[in-house]
Amino acid sequence: MTDHRVAVITGGNRGLGRSAARSLAAAGYRIVVTHRPGGEATDTARLIEAAGGDVMTMPLDISDVSAFSAFVSDLEQGLTSRWGASRLDVLVNNAGIGLFDPLAEVTPERFDLLVGTNFRGTFFLIQALVPLMGDGSRIVNISTSLTRHVSPGTSIYTAAKSAVEALTRTLAVELGPRGIRINTVAPGPTATDFNGGAMRDNAELRGYLATQTALGRVGRPEEIGDAIAALVSDQMRWVTAERLEVSGGALL
């Protein structure tokens, strides 16, 4: 592996985050995976280590902005003691939640939780970690194909992810002078444990969604991870402020 290339993936204990961690490890990155406090990411760590990669796991609740300062301090210490590294090369903002309610049932508490986690948390984590990122580093924010097409009950979730996409474009200008590229990956229907594993476990739902994609099936988690690894690669070095939808041509 190339020395000191480090990628942080939030919410890397399962689903798309785990897939991104595996794909970036295969590309030669040393991996920092975050998970919710009280949880663990041992399965992700085992998968990466079994493939010859190097991984460190850390607790992080991205809805708790007040904890970010301590997280950054612990991360700096971990990078130094584990790998002798002093900077990050890639940040993948994957951690988030999906809550889906029709308009009449949205409560202020649910609204604040969705926006606070998916947008506010992403914003302030970028703010906290950019000082640790070297010139020429890369940031990938995870959005959703739902910012292009619509589905009932997704209004707040989609609005928060749309805000992430707008943030990506704005920060591309702010961070561009340092050569930091920032892009969005917007997955379409993918068979993960997101939303209770509905697309992974419900064959009827998968079959229906498959009819809505140009490629005739739902996505696999590794296809999202591979797209993230490709986007941060040097082959994509002239790409920033873009939204890459990885959906198999959903609802065209």
Retrieve residue 20's tokens: 């991104």
Backbone dihedral angles phi then psi of residue 60, each to the nearest 5 degrees: -160, 125
Per the residue annotation, which of 29, 100, 157, 194 is the catalytic one? 157
Kindly provide the b/e burial profile for residues 127-161, where b requires at least 16 CB atoms within 10 angstroms of the residue's own CB.
ebbbebbeeebbbbbbbbbbbbeeeeebbbbbebb
Catalytic residue list contains 157: yes
Backbone dihedral angles phi then psi of residue 144, each to the nearest 5 degrees: -160, 150
Sign for the CA dihedral angle at 20, 229, 52, 79 comes to negative
Catalytic residue ranges: 157
